[in-house]
Structure 1
């Protein structure tokens, strides 16, 4: 289980070659920065400039494996320590990104600088961390993957062999279960945006090719599966607000418990009001809730969306914010709908207390689209077009919509798993759970934003908007993701399941 099944693609992505240098470091990722900056460009421009600058840049891509994706069988009593080490790998990404962006002169003078000054020391640091991960797993009786040492090395790709654009493919909605599209083998070559760095207000995205006029996008939403006679047809809506109280942090208690700034990007939080890196099952029930139903202490959190119009926000100089390429004014949704729906093939069981689910993949620029579950659209177009690899440019009077449909099948035993994926699964194309998994109420979320449409001029995007992300992930739309921890009192989990099973519409 665990991996989304690839779906037929709609050709909505635009080919792009960005004149930038790419470097994949840490837990696994692509890091982009100019090798050759214009003479007038300061180091600060790499992080805080308000526009993309044209340069005669040489493109190079260095790729490192995403270690976390490989660790599918970590003993429970080693997971916290292993998660901490994985966060160390992610931290290396930011450090290497900053080093790459601030050593441009050295790179122009010495063609071996990146290899000798960044990659080789990085490999040694990565190996030290991998050794510690193996030790943490084996000391509690587990078995580390035999090929873990092979994940230390980072390899380079010459400019003429690399694709600086995103993966090809649109978004398809199949059988009511929203998933990511596939990825073209070998990527794209040529075309699209020329010159400049990787774009965006901080120099790490987005670029013009990350946007599409939704009125010109090909319809790609398919019909939902037919409901069986005993389908669970009800819905349960919980009203938790839109985070007008600005409850933010850059932690991720699911992936990096106990690690400050473990997400390297900022989240909106609704529902439980005391979720940070140091929260736990023991403290979740003390958090209070923004939800109208005070029995719903669940945590619903997602990366913020920012508009890159030259403005800044409170975290301009903070870790996870401007220091890591997440810049611009933070946009609060004008609407956030959180709804649980049933299964088209039968009844559902209640979610277990403290169930954790992450939907989507924050590192698709590294990992490809296998686990992508991003959905971008516009009001008035949601039943026609859902995008994974591009942000929509909406027509006058239409608003931007992000939506999520979480995994709706549970293994019946675990509230989490080592890679935070294998304990839950998506239903198949007909809506049924496979491999002994049980249907649970499917969490769906719909976030609506009032965003002035970006414009594309001379191959450059102006007043772009983008989702926060790891700095090396280039703010690609496909990196959008959503996090959830089920925390309820007063038998609310059972009430949700019963409502859905009875075919009622509850709130």
Structure 2
């Protein structure tokens, strides 16, 4: 297994027990299949189904890309467990305009504001060593960094420093997360191997609004009252329900690297039939769930690059695994046993 050494790109031996091809799950943004009838928000009234509303700074997209698929039913060899990590909901107010995964070393390199849970030191200057030594908001001692662009209420002015710092058209009061769920899941068709320490990961396409190829779209917006329905557009949720974002990460590791030049090639998504790409291995699948208290009719916008104009399809998130090897081994073991665990 690969151990961190302060560098973002490392190589190590492939797990000897996994030299054969391994099957894993499909999470497919970019799948050609359309949403199933039960998941189409336009099948019911807007109040009942979370019908998408136009963003505040852009017209409603003319074509709604397929929402990433949920996993198929677990097979007999599945690692069907789950592990929850309680990292709070960002009560510490950890925000900045950095992105240590995509723009390491570059202050304000994101050009928009990120919210964090987990590692309390994460910024552009973070290293493997600094992350390993920092405090964390996670109760079980997980020092991993979990972060995503903030969601803003655009009809109210931001007054706090981190609400004004990003600029680039990202204005308005930052909505606090009412709930944050950090969960690891296994593969529906095989066992998983532990992630290497200091693995970097990204999900979603921050440039999806202007990209010709929408295959990188991983946005899943919805309403808390209808968790089986999701869309790639901003939802209108009934009174009493929360706006939700679900951020699912790739889970097929190349067995060698903790990062790659494009920050994606080392960790890819499984295919629709549950098979990981050739020469890759299933690792625990990270899912981050976010919930926000938003009154009906209140305009919201996710932070974005200026040219993306807050397009909801640009929703994305980043992750750095700073668990100890023992913690990650325990996660993989729980998943492989089919248990329900809390780190």
Q: SS of the residue aligned with 1:301?
A: strand
The equivalent position to 2:216 in structure 1, one of 371, 386, 396, is: 371
Shift of 1:447: 0.6
Shift of 1:408: 1.1
| Per-residue CA distance 1:2-60 (angstroms, 9 max, x = gap) | 995433345879xxxxxxxxxxxxxxxxxxxxxxxxxxxxxxxxxxxxx98xxxxxxxx
Q: Distance in 1 between matches of 2:28 and 2:169?
A: 29
Instruction: Tell whether 2:291 aligns with 1:444.
Output: no
Instruction: Tell whether 2:215 aligns with 1:395.
Output: no
Instruction: Tell whether 2:265 aligns with 1:419.
Output: no
Structure-2 residue corresponding to 1:311: 157
C-alpha contact (below 8 Å) 2:200/2:259 kept by paired residues: yes
Shift of 1:319: 4.1
The equivalent position to 1:168 in structure 2, one of 47, 50, 63, is: 63
| Per-residue CA distance 1:119-176 (angstroms, 9 max, x = gap) | xxxxxxxxxxxxxxxxxxxxxxxxxxxxxxxxxxxxxxxxxxxx976350254343x2
CA RMSD of aligned residues (A): 2.2
TM-score, normalised by the number of residues in structure 1: 0.56
Structure-2 residue corresponding to 1:347: 191
Structure-2 residue corresponding to 1:120: none
C-alpha contact (below 8 Å) 2:30/2:217 kept by paired residues: no
Q: SS of the residue aligned with 2:129?
A: helix
Mind listing any 5+ residue stretches in structure 1 that lack a counterpart? 14-50, 53-162, 177-223, 455-462
Q: 1:325 to 1:315 in 2, by over 3 A?
A: farther
The equivalent position to 1:293 in structure 2, one of 95, 119, 140, is: 140
Structure-1 residue corresponding to 2:123: 276
Q: Distance in 2 between matches of 1:3 and 1:403?
A: 14
Structure-1 residue corresponding to 2:18: none
Higher RCO, 1 vs 2 (CA within 8 Å, ≥6 residues apart) = 2
C-alpha contact (below 8 Å) 1:316/1:327 kept by paired residues: no
| Per-residue CA distance 1:397-431 (angstroms, 9 max, x = gap) | 21111001111111111111111111111111122
Structure-1 residue corresponding to 2:177: 333
Q: SS of the residue aligned with 2:133?
A: coil
Q: Distance in 1 between matches of 2:202 and 2:64?
A: 22
Q: SS of the residue aligned with 1:265?
A: coil
TM-score, normalised by the number of residues in structure 2: 0.82
Shift of 1:434: 2.0
Q: Distance in 1 between matches of 2:159 and 2:331?
A: 38
- Write 1 or 2 for the structure with the bigger share of helix: 1
Q: Distance in 1 between matches of 2:291 and 2:156?
A: 22
Instruction: Tell whether 2:277 aligns with 1:434.
Output: yes
Instruction: Tell whether 2:336 aligns with 1:498.
Output: no
Q: Distance in 2 between matches of 1:292 and 1:317?
A: 27
Instruction: Tell whether 2:216 aligns with 1:381.
Output: no
C-alpha contact (below 8 Å) 1:171/1:386 kept by paired residues: no
Q: 1:452 to 1:164 in 2, by over 3 A?
A: closer
Structure-2 residue corresponding to 1:256: 103
Q: Distance in 2 between matches of 1:444 and 1:7?
A: 23
